[in-house]
A and B are shown apart, each in its own frame.
Chain A
Amino acid sequence: MSTATHSAPVLTATPRRRRPRRSWIHTVIGIVLVAIMLFPVYWMLNASLAPAGNSLNTQWLPLDPDFSGYSRAIADQGQNLVTSVIVAVGACLLSIVIAAPCAYALAQFRIKGTAALLFLVLISQMIPGIVIANALYTVYTPLGLINSIPGLILADASQGIPFAILIMRAYLETFPTSIVEAARVDGCGHVRAFWSIVLPVSKNSLITAGIFSFLFAWSDFLMALTLTTGETIRPVTLGLYTYIGTNDTDWSAVMSTAVLSSLPAVILMIVAQKYVAAGATGGAVK
């Protein structure tokens, strides 16, 4: 990305800054626009705090919050939330372990076959998930991977791995080779150079890749829908879906589950804003 901080010393002397009062009007309009966009998120929170049952008059403000929706959600979906955490953490770790060395090799080594691999990685992001699910089901069945945590982790990493490879490769392409070469001259092997020099320096891109690999797996619905059949191993996304079907009179419990399922995204957006923003553009424009 060339979001160059183009220096124009003469022009910066006459900034296009508007008068403070007008700026604050812009802020107010901006808040209104964001509020409209985020209304559904507010509405989810609001409904999760409503009393049980399908009340005819929905309150526009949760003035009298009722947390019983959450206790029912945790009773019904707690196990599924745990499954989701395990699967998402597993897929995140797997994605990083597989993608990091590959991204480094694609960016820095000149070896045969890397162009073909890179092409497959780029194309893989565009392959509809249903194609993968169709084929995986037929292989998972004889292998006994249906209804299994490892099966879900492997399948869910199919979004994280290509994304992590691309994000980290984009960073490592700009990584100065001279640092690694200097270490290599001192007798440092490829593995050690990678582990003790490359990885620490590329911490930021590692974190971005990790966050998104986690979120992809956490948000996965298709693999959960197609590769699990029972109630024992069920990620919360699928739990939420079946919950609506069986429980459409208790919207406060459904919306409490939705809020709990949104927590990782919200938390990461707040505590890791910088990395999330980097991932948002990084996947598309290199």
Chain B
Amino acid sequence: MTAIQTRRRSRNRSDLLVRYAFVLPAALYMIAFFGYPILKNVVMSFQAYDFATFFNGHAPFVGVDNYAATFSDPIFLRALSNTGLFTVGSIIGQFVLGMGLALYFRKRFPLSGFLRSLLLLPWLLPMIVSAAVWRWILEQDNGALNQFLSGIGLISDPIPWLNSSDTALIAVIIVNIWLGIPFNVVLLYSGLQSIPDELYEAGQLDGATGWKSFLHITLPMLRPVVSVVLLLGVIYTIKVLDLIIGLTGGGPANATQTLATRSYEMSFVEFDFGQGAALSNVLIVIALAFSIVYLRANARAAKNG
């Protein structure tokens, strides 16, 4: 081996080290704050990890006890069905209203760009701020919603939106729809913008206008974006926690308890981290299932787009 070759090789090696140094901090962070917590949750879910563990460090292995306890807990079933209702209700509401607004703002009119950008605001506010504001709006005696509804004569008695187990889940879904509309508008609007005008012009010649052109031109062209919006919506919605904790704390009587809030409650209120971890693993499995579908849909959209 000649001296030049050796030098080149060592230069290549140090070059490679420099390249890896660019990635290293991020890789370490991602492993510490995502890789490790995920693994730790899996391990904890098979341990009796509770209050005592924080004092004596013992977390005995208990097999599938935490899962057995979780699945036989009636609150778990309630939380599971609430998570389903919350997610489906939120997604339908956000998508329909978001689509309506996106279609409306597609018309070119004065100030449309400015008004559209104002719509983003609810999405940028801290979720706990939105929760506080809506608590005040939904308040039984002085809240704006009840005042408005009784003002126009629609109700005679004020509705205890957040304090009754009949209405709490509906109220929480309504607030979450409000929060999710901006996200839907932004993505759907940018999807609508990429549909060439020529298609509509051609459709017009074939008599496809209004509703027909929406069904036969807009929806098919928008399909990749729609699937991304819906899947991301599901992924974001099943993990919502701030909003529910802020509005109802999961109550009344578990009426708004979801998998995320129940997992929080198990770990940080009951101090049973083992069961909390078992619950959050159920949540992870659901989230990952949708994530994989999403990543594939997104890759397809990128390829076609």
CB-defined contacts of A268 to chain B, threshold 8 Å: 124
A138 to B225, CA, bound (A): 40
Flag if B104 contacts A127 (CB, 8 Å): no
Give the interface SS of chain B, mostly helix, strand, loop or mixed: helix
CB-defined contacts of B21 to chain A, threshold 8 Å: 101
A87 to B219, CA, bound (A): 44
Candidates B35, B132, B298; contact of A254 at CB < 8 Å: B132
A196 CB → nearest B CB, Å: 15
Residue A3 lies at the interface, judged by CB distance under 8 Å to chain B: yes
Residue A63 lies at the interface, judged by CB distance under 8 Å to chain B: no
A2 to B224, CA, bound (A): 13
Residue B241 lies at the interface, judged by CB distance under 8 Å to chain A: yes
Closest chain A residue to B266, Cβ basis: A134
A109 to B37, CA, bound (A): 29
A241 to B198, CA, bound (A): 52
A-B contact count (CB 8 A): 314
Contact (A277, B117) CB under 8 Å given A2-B194, A109-B22: yes
Residue B71 lies at the interface, judged by CB distance under 8 Å to chain A: no
Contact (A41, B273) CB under 8 Å given A117-B27, A135-B36, A158-B34: no
CB-defined contacts of B123 to chain A, threshold 8 Å: 280
Flag if B144 contacts A43 (CB, 8 Å): yes
Flag if A261 contacts B190 (CB, 8 Å): no
Flag if A136 contacts B23 (CB, 8 Å): no
B204 CB → nearest A CB, Å: 10
Flag if A138 contacts B40 (CB, 8 Å): yes
Flag if B246 contacts A221 (CB, 8 Å): yes
CB-defined contacts of B253 to chain A, threshold 8 Å: none
Interface string of A160-183 (1 = CB under 8 A from B): 011001000000000000000000
A200 to B132, CA, bound (A): 41
Near A by CB (< 8 A), chain B positions 104-145 give 104-105, 107-112, 115, 117-137, 141-142, 144
B132 CB → nearest A CB, Å: 5
CB-defined contacts of A132 to chain B, threshold 8 Å: 33-34, 37
Closest chain A residue to B192, Cβ basis: A3
Flag if A37 contacts B119 (CB, 8 Å): yes
Interface string of A54-83 (1 = CB under 8 A from B): 111010000000000000000000000000
Residue A40 lies at the interface, judged by CB distance under 8 Å to chain B: yes
Flag if B133 contacts A258 (CB, 8 Å): yes
B267 CB → nearest A CB, Å: 5
Interface string of A275-286 (1 = CB under 8 A from B): 011001100111
Please give the residue numbers on chain B whose beta carbons come within 8 Å of chain A beta carbons, in ascending order. 15-16, 18-23, 25-27, 29-31, 33-38, 40-41, 44, 49, 53-54, 101, 104-105, 107-112, 115, 117-137, 141-142, 144, 147, 178, 181-183, 186-187, 190, 193-194, 196-198, 201, 225, 228-229, 232, 235, 238-239, 241-242, 245-246, 260, 263-264, 267-268, 273, 276-277, 280-281, 283-284, 287-288, 290-291, 294-295, 298, 301-302, 305
Which 10 pairs of residues, A with B, have the shortest CB-CB distance?
A: A102-B26, A135-B37, A219-B126, A128-B239, A26-B109, A105-B22, A265-B124, A135-B40, A101-B22, A126-B291
26 A-B residue pairs with CB within 8 Å? A3-B190, A11-B201, A30-B111, A34-B115, A47-B136, A55-B142, A98-B26, A98-B29, A102-B27, A105-B19, A109-B19, A127-B34, A128-B263, A128-B280, A130-B239, A131-B280, A134-B37, A157-B29, A190-B18, A237-B129, A240-B129, A258-B132, A280-B120, A285-B190, A285-B225, A285-B302
